[in-house]
A and B are shown apart, each in its own frame.
Chain A
Amino acid sequence: MLEVNGLRVAYGGIQAVRGITFHVREGEMVALIGANGAGKSSTLRALARLLDPAGGNVRYRGQEIQTLPAHRLVEQGIALVPEGRGVFPRMSCLENLRMGAYSRNDRREVDNDLDHVLGHFPRLKERAQQLAGTLSGGEQQMLAIGRALMSRPKLLLLDEPSMGLAPIMVQKIFQVIRDIAAEGMTILLVEQNAKLALEVSQRGYVMESGQITVSDESSRLLADPKVRAAYLGE
């Protein structure tokens, strides 16, 4: 579904991503793990065109997309849940979710999807009219994921969904991610919490200083002594 070939990202003269190649198959959840500053988020941001790649190409469903502007990607079926959640603080939960469906014109279907998404997140239903800026971090993360789902994506890009959340909230968020994946969503997950990410995904790539150093099935990565030593704190 997604094929990334030799993707490079540079900030000024500094290369954050040094020509990485990976792919995500339809219906699969793939984890991109690595230490802080390894280039994981830069990779996602380049895929979502929040920054311009310095090189390489990105094929999505057989079509080159690295030249499309950010606002055209969502209609192609790509949705990013950004790092730090990025909810619209002075809009209500409901308005945030409706913003997720901004690119769609099928009003009735949007209303159905709204019910479906609120089904995933009963907490957001209770707080539907509350301003998003007043929600807790976990609730904001739920809202950000829900908002991305409202665009009916075919490929969901998740950037550090566990960041800054209490452990119990992390469990809840990851349960939802599992549920979404079980519904057949294709997911590319960037996560610092390597253990969690590898537990929920089928395959994983390990990034180090802007390059992919290891790639394998997630279960094998979880068992790999080197990965365990470097990323699972053993």
Chain B
Amino acid sequence: MDTLLQQLINGITLGAVYALVALGYTMVYGIIGLINFAHGEVVMIGTMVAFTVIVYLAAAGVPPIAALTIALLVSVVVCMILGWALERVAYRPLRHAPRLTPLITAIGMSIVLQNVSMIIWGRNYITFPPMIDKRIYEIGGATFTNVQVAIVTMAALMMVGLIFLVHRTKIGMAMRATAQNPHVASLMGVNIDQVIAMAFIIGSALGAVAGGMVGSYYEIAHYQMGFMLGLKAFTAAVLGGIGNLAGAMAGGILLGVIEALGAGYIGDLTGNFLGSHYQDIFAFIVLIIVLMFRPSGLFGERTGDRA
């Protein structure tokens, strides 16, 4: 019972991060049908930038909470610019190319960003300086920290904000219209190039926040961390139904929980043959099962597209 509750709490924390990253995949996919495999690296850059700013500000004697906030804002801005530049430089010239071409480009961009990061931040693990006095709370034998509470709260706020943006604002309307029929959206006066750029920019902003969360949760960063994180978030997006925002949110949380429960019980299940460091396999088991039995994902039903 203790393990169950504990792993649920850990899973929801992890899932909140996956969900934010998954939203970046799903928004871009929903609008141009591209899996932006470099998105995980955008998140990684977000973590790295946040790290650099925190170290710099901490050395200058800025109070921790202020330093964290500024670091997050800076990394959001940097990632938005990066997302915009990615679309502009790598994907827009390939808008009318066969589907495989931008996909390969995305993998290429992911490698480029990893190497840029390695040059700037080195190839070793970077330790995040502890910024917040960690408080530990207990509930029913399970524990959680104030960092976890902050992560889940902030992720929830970002998601509510995104839903508001997509359903209540003009740019959101334009994004939904473009996702459903880009030609007709342009007839309505929607500038498609602008909408596509916005999808990258917003997705990258969410990714930057997720990057900051990962950094403060695990307290380490590495130039290759975006790869596995990105792959799992992609799995979460597929699980929810790629192209579907609510699906990405639900898929992220669900994947986080599955992974945490898997890690918690894998020892018991295999008679301690496999340990919790095998937790990564659960995400990919989920991916394979979803692709085999329900490739459209949990929320991916598309009815009524045709008359």
Contacts and interface: CB of A to CB of B under 8 A. Distances in A.
B180 interface: yes
Given A71-B189, A102-B173, A102-B189, A133 B303 contact: yes
Nearest to A82: B184
Interface string B265-307: 0000000000000000000000000000000000000011111
Contacts, number: 82
Contact of A136 (B184, B189, B191, B307): B307
Interface string B163-192: 000000010011011001101111111111
A79 B186 CA distance: 11
A87 B184 CA distance: 8
A34 to B, nearest CB: 23
Contacts of A102: 170, 173-174, 177, 188-190
Interface in B130-187: 170, 173-174, 176-177, 180-181, 183-187
Contacts of A48: 187
A99 B307 CA distance: 19
A50 B304 contact: no
Interface string A71-106: 111110001101001111111000100111011000
Given A82-B183, A86-B183, A88-B184, A151 B176 contact: no
A70 interface: yes
Category for how many chain A residues contact B = 35 or more
Contacts of A103: 188-189
A27 interface: no
B180 A79 contact: no
A29 to B, nearest CB: 20
- A80, A86, A100, A135: most-surrounded residue (chain B CB, <10 A): A86
Contacts of B191: 69, 71
Interface in A123-148: 131, 133-137, 140, 147
A129 to B, nearest CB: 14
Contact of B307 (A85, A98, A100): A85
A151 B188 CA distance: 8
Contacts of A88: 176-177, 180-181, 184-185
Nearest to A100: B188
| Binding site secondary structure of chain B | helix
B187 A80 contact: yes
A71 B192 contact: yes
Contacts of B183: 50, 70, 82, 86
Contacts of B307: 85, 133, 135-137, 140, 164
15 contacts: A50-B183, A69-B191, A71-B190, A73-B187, A79-B187, A86-B183, A88-B176, A88-B185, A91-B180, A99-B185, A102-B173, A102-B177, A133-B305, A135-B307, A164-B307
Given A86-B184, A91-B177, A140-B307, 17 more contacts: A48-B187, A69-B186, A71-B189, A73-B187, A82-B184, A86-B183, A88-B181, A89-B180, A89-B306, A91-B176, A95-B173, A98-B173, A100-B188, A133-B305, A135-B307, A147-B188, A151-B189
Interface of A: 48, 50, 69-75, 79-80, 82, 85-91, 95, 98-100, 102-103, 131, 133-137, 140, 147, 151, 164
> What 7 pairs across the A-B complex have the smallest Cβ distances?
A133-B304, A103-B189, A86-B184, A74-B189, A70-B186, A88-B180, A102-B188
